[in-house]
Every structure is written in C-alpha cells, then in structure tokens.
Amino acid sequence: MVMISSCIATTTAVVVCSLGSSLTVSAFTIYPSIHTRIPSPQLPKTRTSLRSSIAPNPPTADAPGLDDDETARDGLNIADFVDDLERFSLEEGTAAETGRGDPGEVDSRPDSGQQRTDNNPSTKFGSPISDGLKEINKAMIGLLKGALFDTVYAGEDRAYARFYALETIARMPYFSYLSILHLYETLGTWRKAKYLKLHFAEGDNELHHLMIMEELGGNDLFFDRFLAQHIAFGYFAMVCVLYLINPVEAYNLNEDVEQHAFETYDAFLKENSLLLKSLPAPKAAIEYYVKGDMYMFDAFQTGCEIRRPEINNLYDTFAAIRDDEAAHVNTMKQLQTELDVPLVHDEECQLEMF
C-alpha cells in the first residue's frame, strides 16, 4: 500500500505540474498581444510560428497609389503615414530576427493582421509552445519513468507487466483527442473527419499492442491492472484539459510518451534478441499484422509509404510494435507544425495496395 500511495502521489504531482505549467504558458501564448503590441527590437526570440498562409502585407512606400499627390487628395496625414511606415518597418525587422517573416508561416498574434488556418487542430485552436515548456514535458515523463516504470516494474520477469502498463497509459491521449474533437463537432465549432479517423486508428493500434501484452501475461496480477488503469484514468482527464487549452502542448507531451515507448521496446529487443527469436508470435499479433484487415493499420501511417510487418516470432512482434511507436512519434511531431498531415489514404498518395 505504501508503494501504491507513492506512485499515486507522484502521478498527481506530475498532473498538477503539467496543468500549472500549461496554464502559465497559455496565458502568454493565447494572449501574446499583452507584450507584443508595442513594437520593439528587444522582443523575445523564443516564439516560433506554425506554418500557415500569410495575409496581404501592409502597404509600403513603393506601393502604387501612395505618392504625395494621391495621399493629399485622399485627405491622409503625411506625418501619420510616415509614423505608420516606420512602425511597420520596425516590426518587419523584428520578424526577420525571429524567423516570422518566412513564406508559409503565420504569426499567432491575434492583432498581427495575419490569418489563422484550420487545417489541423493545432493551427485551428493551438499556439506554439516554448522550448522551455518542451523541456518541462520531457522532465515530467522522465520523472514518471523513474518513479514508476523503473521501480515498480524493475526486473526481467516484470517486462511484460511493464509493457502492459505502458500500453494501458499510452493509448489514453487518443481517447482524449477524440473526446474534445467530438465536442467541437457537437458544438458546431469545427469538423475535420480526417483527424477523427487518424486518432481513432492510433487508439486502435495501441489497443492491439495491449491485447498482445495481455496474451503474454502482462495483466495477470491485480496490482498491475489496478495501478495502470487508475493512472490511465487520471492521464485521460489531464490530456483532455491540455487539449482544450492548447493542442500543441498535448501533442508535444504525447510525443515524449511515445518516444519513451519506442526507446523501451528498442532496448528490450537489443537485450533479448536471441530469446525472442526462439519464441512463437502471439496469436493477437498474427491476427493484427498478418491476417487482419490492414485498413485501420494504414490509417495511422503519416506519409505515402505503406508498412507490412513480417511476423514469424516474438522478436518480429516487438519489432513491429517498436516501429508503430516510431510512427506515432512522427505523427505527433507533424501535428505540432504541419498545415495538413499527409495520410496513406489521402488522394495525393498514389499507392499500390498489396
């Protein structure tokens, strides 16, 4: 009971820390106009931009229709125009220093005169996060890894239980994304079936990982089921809040979780390759990767290349799972930056399906 209380306390601290840091950063990313409306060459250089279309630029001195005669006829004040032009030039110089002026990028400031896009949840509802917050996310995942997975699930005989807990927790963000996207659709705020499909397919992939670990005996102990499921419940609620506040933050946090999963499976394969190659593949793995309908498997692949894992033994099974986690990492990265994430089933992907 002392170990359970310690793990729950650690998880609660991680949740509170994440929400506190996210709310603090969101106060400055959602309302950046508080400190950016006054042009200054000393603006912070840590702000990045999501790629997007750029609205028409303000007129410059060389633009047609702005000579002195036409300005006088339109009743404009020359002094005011010069002041505006100098202010615009100063802002453009600041934009060049921060990289904001590159084609294909958009300033997230609501008063910047540039338009937001709605190609994915991040560009519709999110704001870029700082490198500092990204480091906080990594530190929190490292804390959870050290306090839970490296202690409770230490030992070679606890590997499958560790993977069961990892898959139980790691699939929660996709449920959270779907819940919030369904909420937006219900309220008539935003609808993009592509991302509902993507996150559902990702959750389906993690479900089959979980089924494989259950077949291997990872959920045999009540303690392991109790701990993993209760942490997963709290994680689901936390990600729902993060996704409402800023999808970019939620995607970045999950990128670190999936990166941890990839590294865990990769290390396990390297340390146990000979043993794993001598063991048969679980039935759940064969049904999913070989005999099953590959439509949902293809649906979470970002890019125009298809994957067809060969499953001949337990090593191949864990290699396929590891590669799935790498695909999730790649997707989370793209969702933080790309205008529109390319999927295998998109029209622009010319594929020859096997």
What is the model's pTM?
Answer: 0.67
CA distance 333 to 121: 13
- 291 and 260 Cβ atoms separated by less than 8 Å: no
Does residue 247 form part of some domain? yes
CA distance 264 to 342: 27
Q: What pLDDT shows up at residue 268?
A: 96
Does residue 163 form part of some domain? yes
Q: What pLDDT shows up at residue 84?
A: 54
Q: What pLDDT shows up at residue 138?
A: 93
- Do 37 and 87 belong to one domain? yes
Q: What pLDDT shows up at residue 113?
A: 40
Does residue 286 form part of some domain? yes
Does residue 291 form part of some domain? yes
Range of 210's domain? 2-24+127-337
Does residue 194 form part of some domain? yes
Torsion sign, CA atoms 38, 35, 132, 53? negative
Q: What pLDDT shows up at residue 316?
A: 97
- Do 321 and 256 belong to one domain? yes
> How far, CA to CA in Å, does 12 sit from each of 15, 22, 76, 78, 300?
5, 15, 60, 60, 31
Torsion sign, CA atoms 301, 333, 18, 325? positive
Tokens of 142: 């490292």
Report the CATH number that the domain containing residue 319 is assigned in CATH.
1.20.1260.140
- Do 167 and 248 belong to one domain? yes
Does residue 343 form part of some domain? no
Number of folded domains in the chain?
A: 2
CA distance 20 to 1: 28
- Do 225 and 177 belong to one domain? yes
Q: Using alpha carbons only, what angle is made at residue 109 by residues 342 and 30, rounded to the nearest 5 degrees?
A: 85
Q: What pLDDT shows up at residue 352?
A: 46
- Do 158 and 232 belong to one domain? yes
Question: How many Cβ atoms from other residues are within 10 Å of residue 283's Cβ?
Answer: 12
What is the mean pLDDT for each group of 10 consecutive residues in the chain (354 residues)? 45 45 39 37 39 37 44 46 49 43 39 56 91 93 87 90 95 96 93 92 96 97 95 96 96 95 96 96 96 91 86 97 96 84 74 47
- Do 295 and 168 belong to one domain? yes
Torsion sign, CA atoms 158, 163, 168, 172? positive
**Chain center to CA of 196:** 14
- Do 135 and 181 belong to one domain? yes
